[in-house]
Structure 1
């Protein structure tokens, strides 16, 4: 006779439920957009793998996500050390291959004075984290995604990827590169059930945005940006760009003759470094 009470789940049932959790990997989780995305995806049916360099901020974010019901795993492995990166992603995939991978870690640099170039060491470090690391992550994770037949890769580009800005030439180059890589990869991996989304944000309130020279029109909050990005990811959108009309205007910079685009860039004040 039934007592009206259900028996507690067995260890096998608990394990099965854990496996059914979607796994969302976010690098740069201690940044403004990364942290906001972690909070968006922090639900009881999600295992969040959060990577960041600021340990105190990362642990505080993890506590908040756990309060929302998510399972959280943390890492501060060096993303630019390919051996360490591969070992981390391989170990992670033994337990569960990530369902969504958001390669959000990035940095910026800019000329320090009018007419000067960006410091070479800064340029190399920027290209390593903005361009090489997302490609390396793809190399290490895609075979397991292909074997499973599903997955979603998300690359964070920028509206600066449409046309290089004199204030941030190396940053623009890295974002144009990851944009092109993501676009090419989408067609390559679609037959294997793997989606690819390229995100092209404008200015989002953050210390990195604050440090960038030049005007910052139509700046969004991290929360607004994260909600927009998550909707695009969940819909497997090829591109998520915002805000309008800045995304529309920067798209035209790529379409118009280069001379006109460069005149417009100067006209709107994106040619001053802000240095001495």
Structure 2
């Protein structure tokens, strides 16, 4: 685990301490900017130390304090230890899981590589579920808090070219709503965010049309509003909620035939372009 030095340490206790994973780019970085204000302390996790430092410097200009840590979410033990140490040092009021990986089956392959499936499931589901469980217990003991997962509308569709991605996001979606049911009586509010196409490094790798594409800044506004209102689930833009409803009511063979016609492809993934 690598970290950057805490910048402009505040002399007062912050009103909010927000940990954001995937904060070095995309939705995570946009959320850091959106939450940045006086009396807010931001803990930024991501893979790129350089980009994390840039985000930290930017949010401090808005009056927030920030620290950043380069953490590999495929290493669950390391991430869990880092979370426990962080929360013991500075109790976290909001935990937002914005990190994510996306990939597709390569042209000519019958199925995805097993190693790819393992990596996507760790980052998109297993590690977030593990850390959220630890954080939920700690928040409940303290009397409340907020946890949010950035999922995907892919969770509600059987994507033949991205079985690991859609499957891992589906697991995250069910875990989130179940955790919401378990923790609401303890004033720990869990929010699932299921966006469509957002203009992030992940979506920029895709070829073809990206309908209803929105900016990370617009997405951050919607996510912040949903968390503050303690919504259990938000799908945006709204047409994707309709698509999910429609697919759920069509015969499965018909849906699969339509999805197999997709010509969506993507460029090879780079390690530094792994944040949602």
Shared fold, TM over 0.5: yes
Q: Which of 82, 87, 104 matches 2:76?
A: 82
Q: 1:231 aligns to what?
A: 225
CA deviation vs aligned residue, 1:55-111 (integer Å, no higher than 9, x gap): 111111100000000010111122222222122111111123211111111101111
Q: Give yes or no for contact 1:127–1:174 (8 Å, CA) kept in 2.
A: yes
Q: Which of 262, 267, 271 matches 1:270?
A: 262
**Greater C-alpha radius of gyration:** 1
Q: 1:9 aligns to what?
A: none
Provide the rounded CA distance (Å) in 1 between the counterparts of 2:144 and 2:62: 26
Q: 2:62 aligns to what?
A: 68
Query: Aligned residue pairs: how many?
Result: 258
CA deviation vs aligned residue, 1:10-33 (integer Å, no higher than 9, x gap): xxxx86x41x42111100001210
Matched, 1:108 2:102: yes
Provide the rounded CA distance (Å) in 2 between the counterparts of 1:217 and 1:247: 14
Provide the rounded CA distance (Å) in 1 between the counterparts of 2:25 and 2:247: 28
CA deviation vs aligned residue, 1:19-48 (integer Å, no higher than 9, x gap): x42111100001210000000000112110
Q: CA deviation at 1:216?
A: 1.4
Deviates more, 1:186-195 or 1:204-213: 204-213
Could you state the TM-score of these two structures normalised by the residue count of structure 1? 0.88
Provide the rounded CA distance (Å) in 2 between the counterparts of 1:23 and 1:158: 25
Q: CA RMSD in A?
A: 1.9
Aligned residue for 2:243, secondary structure, equals helix
User: Any gaps of 5 or more consecutive residues in structure 1?
Assistant: 1-13
Larger RCO (CA within 8 A; separation ≥ 6): 2
Q: CA deviation at 1:255?
A: 2.9
Provide the rounded CA distance (Å) in 2 between the counterparts of 1:124 and 1:167: 16
Aligned residue for 1:245, secondary structure, equals helix
Provide the rounded CA distance (Å) in 2 between the counterparts of 1:215 and 1:24: 35
Could you state the TM-score of these two structures normalised by the residue count of structure 2? 0.88
